[in-house]
């Protein structure tokens, strides 16, 4: 028994010596460290998510812009002095140069009856309306005379429609907007933008969308029917 114990200790000693010979400068316990965890630097995850979100918004905006319909008038060129004045006024970023902008309707080409169905009461006056946008708002510009007073202007904004009259003469009457706006957050002023203008600012409900036009190409009745159906579905849910 004593001889067997001595042999066992001798074998164990040789085994330890063999291991030590394989890695003479490294302690045995160092061979069994836990795997190293690579941690992402603070903020990198958020940056990646922000980049993905920006890409998704860009794709959505691009798709919406490609769906422009007959409601949009041809855009005015960047060399038009009006847009330079809008940029100087700093109402929308860069005068809206990075986004769709232009006249609300093209009075020379629009059909009066079809325009009326979209809430355009005075086609000629509506043809003077211009609009621009940036990421979070849409701005509407209407030239007015120097004699026009604030009390003679009537503006009514709902999330999907706009009514506008000057000196008791309606120009837009519940005209359906292309996308949703914050009616309660909307505001208007009289100021100089190339000439004296009524300036109406409409905060977008969804800043991921680049509007292809100010007005929706569908009739007021079609918009109302769709909203009624949507409201009904929300009530059921």
* Tokens matching residue 159: 């999330």
Cβ atoms of residues 140 and 103 within 8 Å? no
From 2.170.190.11, 3.40.50.1980, 2.60.40.790, 3.30.310.50, which CATH number describes the 45-236 domain? Answer: 2.60.40.790
pTM tops 0.75:
no
Q: Digits of tens for pLDDT over the chain (237 positions)?
A: 544 444 445 444 444 344 344 344 433 333 333 332 233 334 444 444 555 555 544 544 444 444 434 444 445 556 788 998 999 999 998 899 999 999 999 888 888 888 888 899 999 999 999 999 999 999 999 999 999 999 999 999 999 999 999 999 999 999 999 999 999 999 999 999 989 999 999 999 998 899 999 998 766 676 677 667 766 766 666
Distance of CA 159 to the CA centre of its chain: 16
Q: Nearest 10 degrees: CA dihedral of 74, 79, 85, 90?
A: 80
**Domain locations in the chain?**
45-236
222 membership: H or E segment, kind and range: helix 220-236
């Amino acid at each position: 028994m004593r001889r067997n114990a001595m042999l066992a200790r001798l074998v164990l000693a040789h085994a330890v010596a063999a291991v030590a010979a394989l890695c003479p400068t490294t302690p045995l316990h160092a061979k069994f460290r836990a795997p190293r965890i690579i941690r992402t630097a603070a903020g990198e995850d958020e940056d990646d998510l922000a980049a993905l979100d920006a890409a998704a918004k860009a794709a959505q905006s691009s798709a919406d812009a490609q769906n422009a319909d007959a409601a949009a008038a041809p855009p005015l060129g960047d060399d038009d002095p009006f847009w330079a004045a809008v940029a100087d006024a700093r109402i929308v970023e860069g005068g809206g140069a990075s986004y769709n902008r232009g006249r609300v309707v093209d009075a020379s080409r629009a059909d009066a009856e079809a325009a009326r169905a979209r809430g355009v009461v005075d086609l000629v006056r509506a043809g003077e309306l211009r609009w621009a946008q940036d990421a979070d708002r849409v701005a509407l510009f209407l030239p007015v005379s120097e004699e026009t007073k604030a009390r003679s202007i009537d503006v009514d904004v709902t999330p999907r429609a706009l009514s506008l009259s000057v000196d008791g003469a309606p120009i837009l009457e519940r005209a359906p907007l292309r996308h949703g706006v914050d009616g309660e957050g909307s505001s208007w002023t009289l100021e100089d933008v190339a000439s004296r203008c009524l300036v109406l600012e409409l905060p977008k409900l969804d800043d991921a969308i680049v509007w292809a036009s100010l007005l929706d190409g569908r009739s007021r009745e079609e918009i109302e029917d769709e909203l009624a159906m949507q409201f009904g579905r929300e009530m059921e849910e």
